[in-house]
Chain A
Amino acid sequence: MDPDLAVRLRVCSLGMKKFKFLSGTGKDLRKQPLLEIDYNTSEGGTGHVGFICHKQPVLEKAVRDQVSASPFSQLWSGCKVTAVSEDADQVYVEYMDPEQKIRKLRGRFLVGADGKTGFVRKKYLEPKGIVLERCIG
């Protein structure tokens, strides 16, 4: 099949179509949207389609399966970070395990992938005076 046609067929089935942003909390979904964006396009900047709809829990399961397949990666669920510190060589993380026990972990790097309200930004970086500045425009 023509690769371009294949891409277009995918978009027909999985494309984002139109985004309609509605204000208010009512149930009328046919009222005038605040903003409407047409994403029903296959146009992207790479060989892939620009956008598709996806189911995030399914995406996360697929990613976690790859994590599990690597002997170098571990994902520990039910572990909540409670403290972070660092010296010149290492970073030290305290976390509460699923049995509510505080444990310690050290590493060469810490990556905050816990979101804009997560521990790393709110409880570690911002108290040190590090803030994420908004881009203008």
Chain B
Amino acid sequence: MQDFHHNVQVCSYSFPPQVFDRPLANPCIPTACITQLNSCCPPRLDDMAIPDEQTEVIICGGGPTGALLSALLGQMHVPNIVLEKEADITTDPRGIALDEDGIRILQSIGVYDRVYTEIGSCEFHWILTSPSD
């Protein structure tokens, strides 16, 4: 309970709950902290106030691969932090094909209902050319 209180206290200073030295499956993150946990920016704090942040798994890159891993680790209650250099989701043309394994893994994180409604596209106007030509 003392630990719980500590988390709430920390969060009031816009810092996410510490995950220091906790067992992997930690069900007792206080509800009050969830908003902070899900913030899309790192915490702002005085350097002197809080030591280095710590988590279990650091993921460098928040594209489909990194974000999917984060979602899967979250399902398994493994604390993780994704560091993404871009401010927002990249919108320039990238992957165009989603194969069966891709569909399956989206299903595994619970977004299967969005595959054939939002994610899948029946438009097909991509033009692929080799840059060396």
Contacts and interface: CB of A to CB of B under 8 A. Distances in A.
Interface size range on A against B: 35 or more
Interface residues of B, number: 82
B97 A53 contact: yes
Interface string B18-51: 0000000010010001100111111010000000
Contacts of A70: 70-71, 74-75
B7 to A, nearest CB: 11
11 contacts: A23-B130, A52-B116, A53-B98, A54-B97, A55-B119, A73-B81, A74-B80, A75-B62, A76-B84, A107-B57, A113-B82
Interface in B81-133: 81-91, 93-104, 106-107, 109-111, 114-116, 118-124, 127-130, 133
Nearest to B80: A73
A60 interface: yes
Interface of A: 10, 13-14, 16-17, 19, 21-25, 29, 39, 44-46, 48-81, 84, 91-93, 95, 97-99, 103-115, 118-120
Contacts, number: 266
B10 to A, nearest CB: 14
B65 A113 contact: yes
Contact of A111 (B52, B60, B107): B60
B94 A56 contact: yes
B93 to A, nearest CB: 8
Contacts of A111: 57-60, 66, 69
